[in-house]
Amino acid sequence: MIPVTCRTEYLTGRHHNSASGAWIVMMVALVALVGLNVAGVDGLVVSAVVAGLLAVSLAAAAYGRLGDRGAVLLTVDDDTVYFGDEDRTLVSYPLAALRSFAIGGPADDTSPMTGQRAQHLTVSGQKYLKLTFARDQPRVGTRTDEDLDSDFWRVAISEGDPAATAVIDRLRMHAPQRVSALKSSTLKSSTQKSSVQKQAAPQQEAGAGRWEKASVPPDRDPADDENSPVDLRRPRIADAGSDEAAQRLWEEATRRHDEVLGVYGTYELDPALLLKYPAVTDVTVEQTQTFHLALDEATALRTDAYPGNRGRADAYQQSVAALRRAWIACEKHGRRIGAGYLEPADQDALGTALKLYNHAAASSTAAEQATYYGRVRDIVTTMTDRGVLHPPEAAVAELHAVTRRALEAGTPNA
């Protein structure tokens, strides 16, 4: 597993001290300007003094800005969690020692200080992970057993960084039962509803098999769930904490864009899917039209590299989110109705074509395959010419290609 690192920057003492010094010197320059004029000092002298003080103020501000920011690092690999201050010491714990984690904050201050019960690596204004690790050697004391054999940490994370989301996903795999950022009211309400849920259990069991292999329906993204225990709703580029985080969010949007294109491409290149679910690629179907409009918009906003303009990048990210929602609706509707939107005779024709295609795929004789594929091609071509079916060009081209390959395979060599 490739290690994933999230980095949360903060202003160091150098930045704060230089900013304070620059402000103080600037105030001194203003006071000197007024005082020297009142005292009747020559104008050239006043100008020189004030200009010198302003130069010192700008130099102090520049000294602070040119300094590197500090950063809190959090890395997760196959079996270890590493975190700490980039300019100081990193600590590590085995993932097997992770007892629980939750999201807290935003933090009130930037604090590298260590307390008796918790080590703080917080950044002002940023959220943080509350991590609990089992300690190898429990301490002796009068507190509870959990306090004595556990280490408590608060580690800053940047909410707009997709790397932080990846880190949270990996932590969840090792401590799923203790992940919680829900309000106590939510927990109380769930307790009050427990008796009702027990009564409804028999009805729920009847449909339990529907999602046996998935924790959420396939048309629902857990990252968009407002009630997710950990807030994984997709952060926006416009709200990213740094340019690096904004670029990573843009890269994530391009990946999700490519995923949609890849899934849709299977419907264009697999004749069996065309025959079984024609509505998914039929542009006369409303949901499919909406998907293609969203696809056109996302394609128009996409660039080969990160555009550097946050407004443009954010617009692309939001268009990809709309594209994914449109695709989910399109595929869900298309698979639900199949060929049911066509006339009964046309449904029967597509059903026959699908059977012929399956026979061809199962046949081991090239000549027989060519015959079956040819009949499928004729059915699709006839329905397309009548305006009943509206398959994408790629799907028709693939159907012609498999027919041609079967014919060539069945033709004896000269």
Between 262-271, 296-305, 319-328, 397-406, the lowest mean confidence (pLDDT) is in 397-406
Checking phi first, is residue 183 left (phi over 0); if not, alpha (psi -120 to 50) or beta?
A: beta
Find tokens 């026979």 and name the residue: 359
* The two three-digit tokens of residue 338, written as one number: 């199949």
pLDDT at 294 over 90: yes
Average pLDDT, stretch 341-359? Answer: 91
Find tokens 């998914």 and name the residue: 280
Between 5-19, 28-42, 308-322, 378-392, the lowest mean confidence (pLDDT) is in 5-19
pLDDT at 318 over 70: yes
Taking each continuous run of H as one helix and of E as one strand, the counts in the chain are: 13, 8
Q: Report the chain's mean pLDDT, rounded to a whole number.
A: 77
- Which of 25-39, 79-93, 99-113 has the highest mean predicted lDDT (pLDDT)? 25-39
Q: Give every CB contact of residue 324 below 8 A, 6+ residues apart in sequence.
A: 221, 256, 260
Could you give the CA distance from residue 70 to residue 62 in angstroms, rounded to a whole number? 17
How much of the chain is helix, strand and coil, in % rounded to 5? 60, 15, 30
Which has the closest alpha carbon to 370: 357, 352, 388, 385?
357
pLDDT at 355 over 70: yes
pLDDT at 55 over 60: yes
Share of the chain above pLDDT 70, in %: 78
Between 99-113, 122-136, 383-397, the lowest mean confidence (pLDDT) is in 99-113
Cis check: omega of the bond before 271, within 30 degrees of 0:
no
Residue 237: DSSP 8-state: G
Cα separations (Å) of 190 from 100, 124, 178, 180, 194? 20, 33, 16, 13, 6
For 12-23, the pLDDT digits (tens) are 788 888 888 889
- Which of 187-201, 202-216, 249-263 has the highest mean predicted lDDT (pLDDT)? 249-263
pLDDT at 299 over 90: yes
- Report which of residues 148 and 367 the model is more confident about: 367
Q: Both ends of the chain: CA-CA distance in Å?
A: 54
pLDDT at 179 over 50: no
Average pLDDT, stretch 247-260? Answer: 91
Write out the H or E segment, with its range, that includes residue 334.
Answer: helix 310-337
Its pTM surpasses 0.85: no
For 411, other C-beta atoms within 10 Å of its C-beta total 11
* The two three-digit tokens of residue 197, written as one number: 């849920």
Give backbone dihedrals phi and psi of 184, rounded to 5 degrees, phi first. -60, -30
Share of the chain above pLDDT 90, in %: 24
Q: Give every CB contact of residue 407 below 8 A, 6+ residues apart in sequence.
A: 370, 374
Average pLDDT, stretch 123-130? Answer: 83
Q: Give every CB contact of residue 242 below 8 A, 6+ residues apart in sequence.
A: 9, 158, 161
pLDDT at 24 over 80: yes
Put the strands of the sheet holding 150-156 in their side by side order. Answer: 98-104, 128-134, 150-156, 119-121
pLDDT at 400 over 80: yes
Could you give the CA distance from residue 213 to residue 308 in angstroms, rounded to a whole number? 41
Note whether 363 and 356 are within 8 A (CB). no
Note whether 287 and 264 are within 8 A (CB). no
Average pLDDT, stretch 59-80? Answer: 82
Average pLDDT, stretch 141-148? Answer: 49
| Residue 83: band (very low, low, confident or very high) from pLDDT cuts 50, 70, 90 | confident
Residue 122: DSSP 8-state: B
- Report which of residues 402 and 149 the model is more confident about: 402
- Report which of residues 404 and 250 the model is more confident about: 250
pLDDT at 334 over 80: yes
Please provide the DSSP assignment of 15-52 as one string. Answer: HHHHHHHHHHHHHHHHHHHHHHHHTT--HHHHHHHHHH
Q: What is the pLDDT of residue 36?
A: 86
Q: What is the pLDDT of residue 286?
A: 94
